[in-house]
């Protein structure tokens, strides 16, 4: 896997050339605020002294998913990117405007529904265009870091494209607590890369606008597993041992049968059994108390942490 035609002999991004053994920080200008303040995206390039695969590590595609940004920031300050072989391209925060606005979107548009983008389109579309044109063309595969949205907390998990054997092998190497195939979403980054046969893993952990230490650690360890597998970092780098990733084959959301105030009584990531109580929905005045009961044995992949829910709202992401 990724043994031929290595791309890191000379990496070129926006006119900057990074040769073997060189590291560089490039700041790509994307737009200006109405005040005239220039907004730039920092891109770190760590090119090893030897030929090897080129990996993209990307955070903050959705601006409110701050744990994805923290995960990469933590690795940067811990000097985890001392690359000996191959190249690692790091984008800690892509959606700067969404990050400033505490929003998933960029000026009202979802960047991850704007690919492959257009150089003359909206800001989100232009961002997607240059990400594909300048960065994705250089990589052999990538890891796109995300969190749950709308106060849904995703237990650390890795997602890959169905029928993509390379992506599934990479997911196995990453070794998150859970792994599963996830269908391609039209106009997403992963879908655009798939058309060029570039495998993209999606790491999900935590929820939007919050930091989650467990998700951060699992994301870091999984990334180091990948880099170490391809001999991109030193064998002396230690990674805590973990149980083998549990492969999920069937998933569904357990949804609210009634509206009310929701409370969970299980822990995210738990194995649960048929007949087990998962939580309760109570009406505002205490007249009803609806019990949510598990219908099958399986695993909890995500929990909705928002207490006020309507009928049909997603409560638990359940996998078998």
pLDDT digits (tens, 9 = 90+) for 15-73: 999 999 999 999 988 888 788 888 888 999 999 999 999 999 999 999 999 999 999 99
**Is pLDDT above 80 for 278?**
yes
At 41 the pLDDT is 86
* Cα separation values, 311 from 154, 257, 298, 308, 318, Å: 21, 5, 23, 10, 18
- Distance from C-alpha of 319 to C-alpha of 248, rounded to nearest angstrom: 6
- Distance from C-alpha of 245 to C-alpha of 54, rounded to nearest angstrom: 24
- Distance from C-alpha of 24 to C-alpha of 20, rounded to nearest angstrom: 11
Q: Please, where in the chain does CATH 3.40.630.10 lie?
A: 10-229
**pLDDT above 90 covers what percent of the chain?**
83
At 269 the pLDDT is 98
β 308-309/260-264 pair status: antiparallel
pLDDT digits (tens, 9 = 90+) for 201-247: 999 999 999 999 999 999 999 999 999 999 999 999 999 999 999 99
Bridge partner residues of 260 (DSSP): 309
Bridge partner residues of 145 (DSSP): 203
At 140 the pLDDT is 96
- Enter the CATH code of domain 248-319: 2.40.50.100
- Of the CA atoms within 13 Å of residue 281, those in its CB half-sphere come to 20
Tell me which long-range contacts 286-289 makes (C-beta under 8 A, separation of at least 24).
288/258, 288/260
At 4 the pLDDT is 74
At 221 the pLDDT is 97
- Pick from 85-94, 152-161, 284-293: least confident: 284-293
- Average of per-residue pLDDT across 78-91: 91
Mean pLDDT rounded to a whole number for the chain: 94
pLDDT digits (tens, 9 = 90+) for 97-147: 899 899 999 988 999 999 999 988 888 998 999 899 999 999 999 999 999
- Average of per-residue pLDDT across 260-278: 97
pLDDT digits (tens, 9 = 90+) for 283-293: 988 888 999 99
**Is pLDDT above 90 for 79?**
no
**Is pLDDT above 80 for 277?**
yes
Angle at 117 (CA atoms; ends 112, 119), nearest 5 degrees: 140
Q: Please, where in the chain does CATH 2.40.50.100 lie?
A: 248-319
Picking from 227, 188, 204, the residue whose alpha carbon sits closest to that of residue 79 is 227
Bridge partner residues of 240 (DSSP): none
**Is pLDDT above 90 for 86?**
yes
Length of the chain: 320
- Distance from C-alpha of 45 to C-alpha of 26, rounded to nearest angstrom: 8
CATH architecture designation of domain 10-229: 3-Layer(aba) Sandwich (3.40)
Q: pTM (2 decimals)?
A: 0.96
Beta-carbon contacts of residue 186 (< 8 Å; ≥ 6 apart): 113
Both tokens of residue 30? Answer: 């994307």
């Amino acid at each position: 896997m990724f043994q031929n035609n290595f791309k890191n002999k000379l990496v070129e991004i926006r006119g900057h050339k990074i040769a073997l053994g060189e590291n560089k920080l490039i700041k790509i200008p994307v737009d200006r605020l109405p005040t005239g303040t220039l907004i730039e995206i920092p891109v770190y390039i760590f090119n090893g002294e030897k030929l090897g695969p080129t990996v993209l590590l990307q955070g903050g595609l959705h601006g409110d998913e701050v744990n994805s940004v923290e995960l990469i920031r933590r690795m940067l300050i811990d000097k985890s990117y001392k690359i000996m072989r191959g190249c690692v391209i790091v984008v800690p925060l892509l959606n700067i405007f969404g990050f400033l606005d505490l929003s998933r979107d960029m000026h009202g548009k979802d960047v991850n529904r704007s690919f492959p983008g257009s150089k003359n389109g909206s800001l989100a579309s232009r961002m997607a265009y240059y990400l594909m044109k300048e960065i994705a063309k250089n990589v052999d595969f990538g890891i796109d870091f995300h969190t749950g949205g709308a106060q849904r907390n995703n237990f650390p998990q890795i997602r890959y494209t169905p029928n993509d054997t390379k992506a599934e092998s990479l997911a196995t190497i990453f070794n998150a607590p859970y792994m599963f195939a996830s269908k391609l979403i039209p106009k997403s980054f992963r879908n655009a890369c798939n058309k060029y046969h570039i495998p993209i893993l999606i790491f999900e952990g935590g929820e939007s606008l919050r930091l989650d230490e467990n998700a951060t650690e699992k994301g870091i360890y999984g990334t180091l597993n990948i880099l170490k597998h391809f001999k991109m970092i030193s064998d002396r780098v230690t990674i805590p041992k973990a149980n083998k990733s549990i492969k999920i084959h069937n998933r569904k959301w357990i949804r609210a049968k009634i509206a009310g105030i929701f409370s969970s009584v299980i822990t995210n990531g738990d194995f649960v059994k048929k007949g087990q109580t998962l939580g309760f929905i109570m009406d505002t005045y205490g007249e009803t108390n609806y019990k949510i009961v598990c219908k099958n044995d399986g695993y909890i992949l995500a929990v909705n942490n928002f207490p006020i829910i309507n009928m049909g709202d997603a409560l638990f992401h359940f996998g078998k």
